[in-house]
Homo-oligomer: A and B are copies of this chain.
Amino acid sequence: MGSTATTTVPTNAELMEALAAVGAAYFQDFAAAAARHGLSSSQAKALGAVQEPVPMRALAGRLGCDASNVTGIVDRLESLGLANREAAAGDRRVKIVVITAEGREILNRIRGEMARTHQAFEAMDDEQRIALHSICAQVLPVLAGRTGGAQ
């Protein structure tokens, strides 16, 4: 940057407030886009988490909720034709959730229709996009609890 001298370093509380506001607004944009396609935000979030095939148990981990909860969510995705359960080779206890072509289609449409989010991106210049992306990449492992990357 180095644009001006006006820049004072924000406190943690200020950063937290700003991050929370942006996160909440992003989430509402996402939920609204999902609702337009008849999906709850939980269902849409689950759909986004199974772009690669994922066992039920691991999906629960990704969504941060109990495994029994995932059963119901995947039930509904399956009845909507957006995902399927497949048997895992090698362990017949495991069921793997696989997104269908229609599911991927809907997911892409939802992401494309997040109008406010896209507007927000357009309000950034290249330097800001690079900075934001790099900060997210740097911070994510810490925030998600994968401190090293080793494990």
A20-62 contacts to B, CB under 8 A, are 20-31, 45, 48
Residues from chain B with a CB closer than 8 A to the CB of A31 are 64
A22 touches B136 (CB 8 A): yes
A28–B13 Cα distance when bound, in Å, is 18
Q: How far is the CA of A114 from the CA of B21 in the complex (A)?
A: 16
- The reply to whether B133 and A1 form a contact with Cβ atoms under 8 Å apart is no
For the side of the interface on A, what is the size category? Answer: 35 or more
Q: A27-B23, A128-B135 are in contact. Are A117 and B16 (CB under 8 A)?
A: yes
Binds B, one of A66-74, A75-83, A140-148: A140-148
Complex CA distance for A139 and B23, rounded to whole angstroms: 11
A14 part of interface (Cβ distance < 8 Å): yes
Which residues of chain B are near A151, meaning CB under 8 Å? Answer: none
Provide 7 A-B residue pairs closer than 8 Å at the C-beta atoms, listed in order of the A residue.
A8-B130, A15-B132, A16-B121, A22-B139, A119-B143, A124-B138, A128-B138
User: Within 8 Å of chain B (Cβ to Cβ): is A129?
Assistant: yes
- Whether a CB of chain B sits under 8 angstroms from the CB of A109 is no
Q: With A21-B136, A21-B144, A22-B139 known to touch, is A10 a contact of B129 (CB < 8 Å)? A: yes
